[in-house]
Amino acid sequence: MFEKGGKMTKKELNKQQSQVFVGLILSDAWLERSSPTSNARFGIQLTTKTPAFFERCLTVFSEWISESPRIVNKSYEGGTAHTQNTVKTFFHPVFTELYKHYYALINGSYIKVVPKVSYLKEVLTGEGLTFLLLGDGSRKSNKTRGYEIHTQGQGFEGAVRLCLALYELFDIKAWPTFDNHGKK
């Protein structure tokens, strides 16, 4: 990854990293920049209840990870608390390029969005879908044998784009729903 003197030699994600990245970024992973002109880095945050899945993510991105994983306690509205494993990559132009697809300037702030369906059709693969489901999915019920993908932060339009891409790519019939609080 690095040459003598600390010069970075890695230029792009490999095929598996690209596929896993798409699934995770559509889930609870994120990209961040320290300023609008700086490079971005990739962050992964997964529940401590799935350590094997987190370890798999670490293995896939091991050459990009810049810091040791840490445990974060998060509280959500309603008093629910979760313990999560978190890890971040180093800042790099490859993540900055990806940032353009997954973030949009909305009301003066960059907000994570689901990309256009045409883009998702190019980048979302079966492996990416697996990581999306493992990161943000849950079994609806034994009766329906369906799954829910929890994309609350992506907005209704993002959920619709994701549903369309799932149908066009995998013939998966999906639709946006509302949670118990009326959120899409």
Per-domain boundaries in the chain: 15-170
Residues 6+ away with beta carbon under 8 Å from 78: none
pLDDT at 88: 94
The rounded average pLDDT for each run of 10 residues, N- to C-terminus, in the chain (184 residues) is 48 95 92 93 89 93 89 74 85 96 91 93 94 75 66 76 91 76 49
What is the three-class DSSP state of 33? strand
pLDDT at 40: 97
pLDDT at 10: 62
17-69 per-position pLDDT tens digit: 999 999 999 988 999 999 989 999 999 988 888 889 999 999 999 999 978 88
Angle at 60 between CA 56 and CA 64, to 5 degrees: 130
- pTM value is 0.83
Angstrom CA distances, 170 to 4, 56, 124, 129, 137, stand at: 45, 24, 10, 9, 16
pLDDT at 22: 96
CATH 2.60.40.10 fits 15-170, yes or no: no
